[in-house]
Copies of this chain bind each other. A is one copy, B any other.
């Protein structure tokens, strides 16, 4: 399946136990893997709920129904497309020297439990990448245009760079290491999020000129911190499947290390962002702390299987600091309006986590990190992967959004935006009966 295993399988015992069975029989080891990947995939599916709640909570009440609809439908459309096209491009037989997969489109077999199992585990990763974007493009995107975007990221953008790394493509052959997807999933989604927000432009009223000619930056506070925090907790919960089950083997002893490093990095990420915001803004900031936990999780996703507890604390803590700096930089300097900070969490920390592999990577027999005498080779390979996947994802999604903008339009009218997308795009009211201030 998808990843080159750096760590040699320790499970001599299991191997011996199953050796009495022929290759194609359903051994205990296969049964364990099946349960394990089922569990992992189900947990990663929960992350869809997490994203929906996080993005809803951090944006305004008048767009809440639209956001949850985008989260539902990008999974639904993405799943069908990933079955039809994406899977074949990502895990089909290699073509053009590691550039794409090219078989198994519309795969409609009945008796292939390994394919079924792997597709189920992979589709939820594809959906994660797609759904990262909805937050960055929140509160001003046409619903139908968003659905068009979601087709293309699930069909081609995500699967093709995914093939390079997890499908046995050219980056895999070079030894690029991304255990659970800091680059494969998060950076790709993060680049698309940043390009989407750039092409769309900021929400009306976000950046205005003051009487003195200086730019005034308005914050639009989210409408439900409890929902957003529930989203963070559910994302964290789902991440145990995202990282843990990326061992791909239910009989791997590495499962536990992954869980410990994931927990510690998420925790230190939140602490890093809380502290940074407390010092900088003089108050322990709620949305920064939430994004800090997610920053820790994104940062540890690539190296989680090959770093120590102390290293995971460092990686998470730095991720938590990075996310605050990145949010401020993208908002205040680049003036790109990403309402939930998706590009900072998934792109900036995705890059950081991928680099961390080359710094702290260290497991018996494979000390690839700088700090463990592994030299700069791995770090170079990691950087090459970041740049090449970044170029691919940024360029293709930029072109895609420009094309959508030119052909069908990307943005709702200003009047619709000010009234809210719920009523204009869905004839819906997310909170019927509640008194909500009309200018929010």
What's the Cα separation between A36 and B259 when bound, in Å?
A: 13
Question: Is A12's beta carbon under 8 Å from chain B?
Answer: yes
Question: Is A392's beta carbon under 8 Å from chain B?
Answer: no
B240 touching A34 by the CB < 8 A rule?
no
Minimal beta-carbon separation of A282 from chain B (angstroms): 8
A267 touching B79 by the CB < 8 A rule?
yes
Known: A35-B32, A39-B35. A264 touches B21 (CB 8 A): no
Q: Which of B27, B75, B233, B313 contacts A52 (CB 8 A)?
A: B233
Question: Is A128's beta carbon under 8 Å from chain B?
Answer: no
B432 touching A259 by the CB < 8 A rule?
no
A226 touching B53 by the CB < 8 A rule?
yes
B224 touching A226 by the CB < 8 A rule?
yes
B264 touching A72 by the CB < 8 A rule?
no
Interface size of A as a range: 35 or more
What's the Cα separation between A254 and B30 when bound, in Å?
A: 12
A237 touching B35 by the CB < 8 A rule?
no
Interface residues of A (CB under 8 A from B): 10-14, 16-18, 20-22, 25-28, 30-32, 34-36, 38-39, 41-43, 45-46, 48-49, 52-53, 56, 60-62, 64-65, 68-69, 71-73, 75-77, 79-80, 83, 106-111, 113-117, 119-120, 123, 143, 221-227, 229-230, 232-234, 236-237, 240-241, 244, 250-251, 253-257, 259-260, 263-264, 266-268, 270-271, 274, 281, 283-286, 289-290, 293, 308-310, 313, 362-364, 422, 425-437, 440
Further contacts, 7 of them, CB under 8 A, given A113-B256, A433-B436? A34-B256, A60-B433, A68-B229, A69-B229, A109-B309, A225-B422, A230-B230
A/B interface sample: 26 pairs, CB < 8 A: A11-B25, A13-B18, A13-B25, A26-B251, A28-B28, A34-B256, A38-B259, A49-B233, A52-B230, A60-B432, A71-B229, A72-B233, A72-B289, A73-B270, A76-B267, A76-B293, A79-B264, A113-B257, A120-B260, A221-B432, A281-B427, A285-B426, A285-B428, A434-B436, A434-B437, A435-B435
